[in-house]
Amino acid sequence: MAEARTNSDGPSTIHWLDRPEPIAIDSIKSNSFGLLILTGIVNPLGPTLSGLALLSEESAGKGFLVKFFLNPFSSAAEAIAQFTTIPPREILVAEAIKRVERLGYDDTGCFTLLCRGDRSMDTQTHRLLAAALLARTEGVARKLPFLKRYPNNPWDRIRAEIDELGQSARPRTLRARLGFGAANPTNRNPTPAELKEFMDIILHDDHRSEEEKAFFAAWDGAVTHNPAAGTSGSVMEVGAMAEFYATLMHLDETREKPGSTSDQPTWRPQMHEDPQAWAQLVYQPKLEDRIRGYRTRADELFGEIIRYATLGDQSSVAHLSRIYQQMLGQGMSVEIRRQIYLETASAQQSEPAVVSYNAYLPFIFCEAADGIVGSATVDFISVGELIDGDPMTRVKEVIGLIERKSLRNRGAAFGALLFTGDSRVSRLLLPLRDQLTENEVTIAMRGSTSLISAASVEFLIAWLEGMDANSTDGLFGTVASGLVNVRRRAESPVVMTGRRPFPVGSVTREEQARMGRFIPIDKFTAQITSRLLNLERTEPEPKIMPVVLETWGISARMHWSAAGDGLKQASKHRRRNR
């Protein structure tokens, strides 16, 4: 941004820029965004969304006032002012109204859709700003009788306006006379009483609800019926518009409320308040209708995941991915994302015939948090349908995603597979070891659970035995830390040496226990002691293996002659894994 300059006509909280500076329209959806006002013109020839936004850099103590507009075929955003300290909304709006001519609403059609974005701004301040903008637009006095004659009925209102103006009017003149285009000198300024009555109407919830529906229908119609729409690369489809609109309207509700703590998630699922209405919303065929109905972005993500998992709606995959990335970018807390996951898992496990195991895929693909990715991966492979009776069907699917680098957090998915503790899974993971970055290995080593499995521990030991500790010092220590984590997190006195059922519901609990082939942890420790001691002996300084030995309760001063047979076995393992 250019250096801000202070106007010469007196001190001001806002430093108005000499010239508006273009910015990317997508920056309005950024993490530091604050919405002052959002307005819409329901025009069948070209609906327009306009607004005023704050782009703040709170760490630097400054921000920018931005005006923006979008229609189906073009969009623009410009920074018009800068402030070095973030003022209260009331002061900011008061200063903006003093320079209302800079806000971009003069010589435009009057808006009939009015939405309030920033909930930190009180109702009266919002109303003052809206009235100041409306007073500069055309058509308030002329539109008011139609608003009163056709309450909550935008399409009949617009048809009546067109009929009154005459069907023979030229398109450009008609647009202007409707208040959708260039200034019309025959439109008089509204009186204060007319402006108040107009505001009372458009601020009513029933009016706003119907106006929103008409706005999106007009947007869809403009794209569908415009001859140039199919050839223009800048056309914004109604689905993308609905997503942009929802981002603006729900941004506040994707964040934790002031004063909330990490163990107090603030999302209250819309589904719990009225399950029947929520279900009807989720299965609405039009994306824009669903987006308008979701109360928060968290509800939107949850609802779209459930829709995808119940209907197999592949058309929703791109939207799911976009909103997940947006929520991460906007700083939605891990606690709320975990709550969305738990609600999803509960729905899938309660109604598996209705909600498919694909419900876990958005979390596996898009999530960043290790714990959520790990849980989703385990749940997916544990309940997923088999192909040709192959118990590794879903394991192989996740491995393929890791190989193709399709996942945001490959390390967490790898760790989740490894610590399932099934030797069949471990064998499939062997080729992946060298494909992971050291950071991904670090993440994977944090994935151990409260139950020790022989297959997971032996995988890690064999990995270490196959390394040259001198040339892979960092990686050696990282994998060794996995052995420490496994033992420290153990909450059971036994180790699983058998297999897991896939899917988990294919056997009874008794059969699952028999398949696990559990042995006492001391017995298992004795089985791996010689291999761990040999790793400690051959590791160069500085050593990490003494920490591993101590964690497993093994003395490094053990008499080596008593472990001779074990060392021979360890040498075989090492040669085989080189």
Picking from 210, 225, 240, the residue at the C-terminal end of a domain is 225
**Is residue 443 assigned to a domain?**
yes
In the chain, the amino acid numbered 172 is: R
Pairing of strands 494-496, 62-71: unpaired
Query: For 442-482, what is each residue's pLDDT tens digit?
Result: 999 999 999 999 999 999 999 999 997 665 668 999 999 99
| Residue 274: pLDDT over 80 | yes
Say how far apart CA 80 and CA 173 lie, in whole Å. 31
**Is residue 566 assigned to a domain?**
yes
Domain housing 75: 15-225
Local confidence band at 249 (pLDDT 50, 70, 90 cut-offs): low
Q: What is the mean pLDDT of residues 421-438?
A: 95
Q: For position 227, what pLDDT does the model report?
A: 53
Q: What is the mean pLDDT of residues 332-349?
A: 92
**Is residue 406 assigned to a domain?**
no
Between residues 339 and 5, the one the model is more confident about: 339
Which own/partner contact pairs does 441-444 have at CB distance under 8 Å and 24+ positions apart?
A: 441/411, 441/475, 441/478, 441/479, 442/411, 442/478, 442/481, 443/370, 443/409, 443/411, 443/412, 443/415, 444/411, 444/412, 444/414, 444/415, 444/418, 444/482
Say how far apart CA 380 and CA 344 lie, in whole Å. 12
Other Cβ atoms less than 10 A from the Cβ of 578: the count is 9
Q: Cα 341 to chain center, whole Å?
A: 12
Between residues 281 and 190, the one the model is more confident about: 281
Pair of tokens at residue 450: 């409260």
| Residue 31: pLDDT over 80 | no
Question: Nearest CA to 68 among 201, 237, 244, 208?
Answer: 244
Query: For 134-186, what is each residue's pLDDT tens digit?
Result: 888 778 888 999 999 999 999 999 888 888 776 544 444 444 444 444 444 44
pTM, full prediction: 0.61
Sorted by sequence, the CB contacts under 8 Å of residue 576 that are 6+ apart come out as: none
| Residue 566: pLDDT over 60 | no
Q: Around 211, how many Cα atoms within 13 Å sit in the side-chain half-sphere?
A: 24
**Is residue 520 assigned to a domain?**
yes
**Is residue 451 assigned to a domain?**
yes
**Is residue 302 assigned to a domain?**
no
Peptide bond preceding 44 in cis form (omega within 30 of 0):
no
Cα dist from 188 to 179, 328, 403, whole Å: 12, 48, 67
Residue 185's SS3 state is coil
Say how far apart CA 219 and CA 237 lie, in whole Å. 8
**Is residue 46 assigned to a domain?**
yes
Q: How far apart are the first and last CA of the chain?
A: 56
Cα dist from 219 to 39, 48, 239, 320, whole Å: 14, 8, 10, 22
Say how far apart CA 327 and CA 304 lie, in whole Å. 14
**Is residue 91 assigned to a domain?**
yes
Domain count, the chain: 2
Percent share of the chain, pLDDT over 70: 79
Strand order in the sheet with 518-520: 452-453, 494-496, 518-520
Question: Nearest CA to 213 among 158, 282, 289?
Answer: 289
Pair of tokens at residue 233: 């690369």
Pair of tokens at residue 325: 């990335």
Question: Nearest CA to 62 among 22, 11, 15?
Answer: 15
Picking from 171, 197, 225, the residue at the C-terminal end of a domain is 225
Q: What is the mean pLDDT of residues 211-225?
A: 84
Pair of tokens at residue 288: 């824009």
Q: For position 45, what pLDDT does the model report?
A: 79
Pair of tokens at residue 31: 């993490």
Place of tokens 């637009």: 137
Picking from 173, 206, 225, the residue at the C-terminal end of a domain is 225
Local confidence band at 250 (pLDDT 50, 70, 90 cut-offs): low
Say how far apart CA 147 and CA 549 lie, in whole Å. 80
